[in-house]
Amino acid sequence: MKRLRPRPKNLIYGHHPVVSAIEAHKPIEKILLKKGLASEMAWRMRELGKQYGIPVQVVPVEKLDRLCRNQTHQGVAAFISAIVYQPLEEIVLSVIEQGKTPFVVMLDGVTDVRNFGAIARTAACMGVHAIVVPTRNAAAANADAVKVSAGGLLHVPVCREERLVRTLRLLKQYGLRTIGCSEKASNVVYESKLGEEGICLVFGSEEDGISMQLMKEIETFVKVPIGGAIDSLNVSVAVGMIVSEAVRQRRSSGLD
């Protein structure tokens, strides 16, 4: 007989427990809603998701049954995040008020938990001020991500934003230069200026790269030169190489 996996420790289920957790401002990773659920409570869950910026995912009842080990879930469950998401604008303002130059990393569509954790570890080591992720199509900030990050996710602020295009425009208003990182770029990162002003480095997923909407907002693009048999890097490795070069230039310019 096949053994069932234990219920996820960060899972809560049932209408009242989920609503109570949201209204108590617990860090919710996402809400799971049973497919076809058409009740006032389902409507309320969607509204709470919009109000608090929490993704709502519609799933088959079988998935809820499996996650909740066939306990009464009333068609609703939620995952509690291992971290507390931070407000980006407050972080940027705080960095500027301290006389420092903001250094932000944005992840567009990076959904692999191990990559996310590795990126967070790099960011924490290199003094990145914030990691920005989208509300949807992003890796979960769960216990596995924290473990892979070697605790880095508990030290570098992670900001979850509904619309990354709007976020880029906001960062531009605060004087940050937006830099897309892509193997298709013509500028080599080691020959590009990354240490003269505040920057937001944008990385896309390995499968799809940076979305077209974001590419239209980005001011310049850089790449890591590739000369081997494989023509692309794992995204967490690319982040490590480009962030490291940015830190080197920032220190040479006296920004750090």
Tokens at residue 191, please? 């020959």
Give the separation between CA 10 and CA 199, rounded to whole angstroms. 35
Give the separation between CA 118 and CA 122, rounded to whole angstroms. 6
The DSSP element (H or E) to which 181 belongs, if any, is strand 177-181
Q: What is the pLDDT of residue 1?
A: 41
Sign (positive/negative) of CA torsion 64, 69, 73, 77? negative
Residues of the chain scoring pLDDT < 50: 1-2
CB-based burial of residue 207 (10 Å sphere; 0-12 exposed, 13-18 middle, 19+ buried)?
A: exposed
- The CATH 3.30.1330.30 domain(s) of the chain lie at 11-80
Give the separation between CA 174 and CA 93, rounded to whole angstroms. 8
Give the separation between CA 71 and CA 63, rounded to whole angstroms. 12
Instruction: Tell me the backbone φ, ψ of residue 158, rounded to 5 degrees.
Output: -115, 130
Supply the DSSP string of 2-48, one letter for each residue.
PPPPPPPTTEEESHHHHHHHHHTT--EEEEEEETT--SHHHHHHHHH
How much is the pTM? Answer: 0.90
Q: What is the pLDDT of residues 4-39, one digit of tens each?
A: 566 678 899 999 999 999 999 899 999 999 998 888
- The CATH 3.40.1280.10 domain(s) of the chain lie at 88-252
Give the separation between CA 57 and CA 64, rounded to whole angstroms. 11
Q: Strand 187-188 vs strand 177-181: parallel, antiparallel, or unpaired?
A: unpaired
Q: What is the pLDDT of residue 3?
A: 54
Rounded to the nearest 10°, the torsion over CA 42, 56, 166, 141 is 150
CATH fold label, 11-80? 60s Ribosomal Protein L30; Chain: A; (3.30.1330)
Asked whether the beta carbons of 88 and 159 are under 8 A apart, the reply is: yes
Q: What is the pLDDT of residue 40?
A: 86
CATH code of the region 88-252: 3.40.1280.10
Give the separation between CA 92 and CA 83, rounded to whole angstroms. 19
Residue 177 to residues 117, 172, 198, 200, 249, Cα–Cα distance (Å):
25, 6, 6, 6, 15
Q: Is 23 left (phi over 0), alpha (psi -120 to 50) or beta?
A: alpha
Q: What is the pLDDT of residue 232?
A: 79
Cβ-Cβ contacts under 8 Å for 138 (sequence gap 6 or more) = 107, 109, 110, 111, 116, 160
Give the separation between CA 9 and CA 144, rounded to whole angstroms. 12
